[in-house]
Structure formats: structure tokens, C-alpha cells
Amino acid sequence: MRVQVSVVVLLALAACSGPGERDVAALDAPNYAASDARAEGRGADASPPDESANDSVCTSEDTTDTPCVPDCTGKVCGDDDGCGGNCTWCPPTCGGSVCEGSLCGNLCACNCDGKECGSGGCGGDDECGVCPGGAPCCPNGRCSGDCTDRECGDDGCFGSCGTCGEGGVCFDNTCQSTTWADPETGFVWQTAADAPVLTWEAAIVYCDENAGGLPGAGWRLPNISELRTLIKSCRGTETGGECNVVDVCEACGTTAACLAESTCFDDAVCNACVYGEGAGAIGFYTPPGVDPPFVFAWSSSSYIDVEAFAWVIDFTEGEVSGRAKEETTWAYCVREGP
């Protein structure tokens, strides 16, 4: 019995020693275990005792892995999260922010230049701010209207900068006259500031009935020769020019009409001037001093060989040409002066 107790003590000491020490103890100790095994009939090849139990008893170190918890408190995009990664928080911006790598970027670049309120172009309603007291944001992104350098019309914020008196019309926030008297011919013209865009038939009715409420009587849609008196600095299409498209006009000096597209029109002379090189406002071929200038205009003169077309003038090029009557363009009414 004493021998067996000694063997147990030696095995316990060997289990708690280091690898080198254990080997030495095993070599020095008599093979009592083998003798005991034979004595108990287990044979010399019986398995050695399980030492893992001894390991768990003898060690005091806890080897269980504890997961790392990232901590981004007070940190921004790119800062170490304490676990080998990066924090991703970015300060909010107008169009939204995003962390890309270690830098904060904008999801959308807002444009709030000159704006006090409203959208900055990134889908939000108040990206550029809100107006005090819950006032509505103006379409121009301001919180109040502005009539600086404006005589009339919209103030930019649902209000008005005033109206024009009798015979005047508001155009581009300035008061313009609804009529202009040509000192060369004596014709009185409806100005471009007040002219409507209509089909040819609607233009005839509009002028005949003075639907625009122009001062005076006898308004009508001009014929092509009357309309050509407004062309200036384009020699081929001015009154008396080589372009043969004309209608009867006493004040213009034409007593016979030539309105057939097939025989009267020659593109080489009826469309010979260069766009934007006229003597009128913004380079148009209109009378100097008439601003806004005439742009494109119906005449009352039809093609005599193509009834669905009427003669028109493009004042941006000083061109005489034709257009289908079902299309639309400006109607400048005319009457005899004064």
C-alpha cells in the first residue's frame, strides 16, 4: 500500500512540472505502474493515465478569447475604432455625407449661392435654410421680394413691383410702349414687348379685332411688303432690295404682287445676310433704337402656289421665307398713322 501512495505522489509531481522535468521524473521513477497493471491483470500495454485532468487542476491561467468591441465615441471617419478598423461617422452636410476610406465626402454638392432658403439641388426642401417666422421661401431662394431696378412686374416673391400706365406694357420688368411709330413710313406698329405668338389664321383675327387693346383703330396683320419696311441693313431684303417677294403697298412703292414661291423666291438674295450682324438691337436686322427688337413675324401674304403656306420674315437674319400656316410665330399688328 505504501508503494502505491508513493507512485501517485510522483505522478502528480510530474504532471505539475515542466516538460523537461516531467521527462526526468518519468525516467527516474521505477515502473511501478506497469507492475501494478500486471498485478491487476491489465497487461503491460495498458494505456497511461489521462493527464489532461491534471493540467486543468494545476493551471490558473484563463485562455478563453474575449471578442473586441469597437468604440467610436467622439471619433470621426478614419479614426481607429480600437479593434483594428476605422470609424465611419461624418458630420452631416447639405447633400448628405459619406465616409470613403478615411475621408468624409458629400453624397451631393448643394448649390446655395445667393440663396437664403429652399432647395440646394439635392432633393431636400430646406437645404439652404428656412425663412424666419415660417414665411414662404421665394422661387429665387430669398425670403423677401426685390424691386431693385424694376419698374413693374413680379418682385420674385409672389408680389409686384408695380404696373405700367395706359399705352404701356411690362417687359423684362421695365415699362415699354405697346406701339412704335416708324418715322420713315408713318406706320404704327405693335411692339415686340406686347406681341403674341399665334398660328397664321389666329394672327389675322387677333389684329383685325385688336384683341391686344392697342390704342387707335384700323389694326391689321401687315402684308409682306409692309413687313419688309422693318428690315434694316440687309440690302437684299430691305424695301426695294433684290428679293422679289412683294405685295401691293403704296407706302412701300410696290404696285404689283409677286407671291409665288416657285417664281418669286430666290434663296441667294432672300436669305443672304448673316445671323446677328444687323444694325438693330442685339444684332438683329431691325430699326435702330427699337428694343426689344422684332424677332420672327407673320405677314398676311399667302403663297399663291402653296395655299397652306404664308410669307414670314426672320429679323435675326433679315430673311424672307415661308412657313406652314398651322405653325406659330409672332404677330406684329400695324395701322396707318398717326
- 301-318: pLDDT as tens digits: 999 999 999 999 999 999
Global confidence as pTM? 0.59
Task: Check whether 77 has a pLDDT greater than 70.
Answer: yes
Q: Which residues contact 148 (CB under 8 A, 6 or more apart)?
A: none
* pLDDT mean over 315-336: 97
Residue 223 pLDDT grade (very low, low, confident, very high; cuts 50, 70, 90): very high
265 assigned to some structural domain: yes
206 assigned to some structural domain: yes
64 assigned to some structural domain: no
Query: What does the alpha-carbon distance between residue 314 and residue 329 come to, in Å, rounded to a whole number?
Result: 10
Higher pLDDT, 276 or 44: 276
Beta strands, E only, 118-203? 168-171, 174-177, 179-181, 187-190, 197-199
Give the three-state DSSP class for 109.
coil
2 assigned to some structural domain: yes
CATH number at residue 266: 3.10.100
Query: What does the alpha-carbon distance between residue 317 and residue 332 come to, in Å, rounded to a whole number?
Result: 18
* Helix count and strand count (H, E) for the chain: 8, 12
pLDDT confidence of residue 64: 63
pLDDT confidence of residue 292: 80
Looking at the structure of the chain, the number of domains it has is 2
220 assigned to some structural domain: yes
Cα 328 versus chain centre, distance: 29
Task: Check whether 4 has a pLDDT greater than 60.
Answer: no
156 assigned to some structural domain: no
Query: What does the alpha-carbon distance between residue 93 and residue 109 come to, in Å, rounded to a whole number?
Result: 9
Task: Check whether 60 has a pLDDT greater than 60.
Answer: no
Lowest mean pLDDT among 101-105, 162-166, 219-223: 101-105
pLDDT confidence of residue 240: 93
- 181-202: pLDDT as tens digits: 999 999 999 998 889 999 999 9
148 assigned to some structural domain: no
Task: Check whether 9 has a pLDDT greater than 60.
Answer: no
Task: Check whether 118 has a pLDDT greater than 70.
Answer: yes
- Cis omega (within 30 of 0) on the bond before 49? no
Task: Check whether 11 has a pLDDT greater than 50.
Answer: no
CA atoms within 13 A on the CB side of 338: 0
- 283-302: pLDDT as tens digits: 999 998 788 888 999 999 99
Task: Check whether 51 has a pLDDT greater than 70.
Answer: no
- Domain span including residue 20: 1-39
55, with CB counted inside 10 A (0-12, 13-18, 19+), is exposed
25 assigned to some structural domain: yes
User: Which among 217, 216, 180 has a CA at the least distance from the CA of 195?
Assistant: 180
pLDDT confidence of residue 57: 46
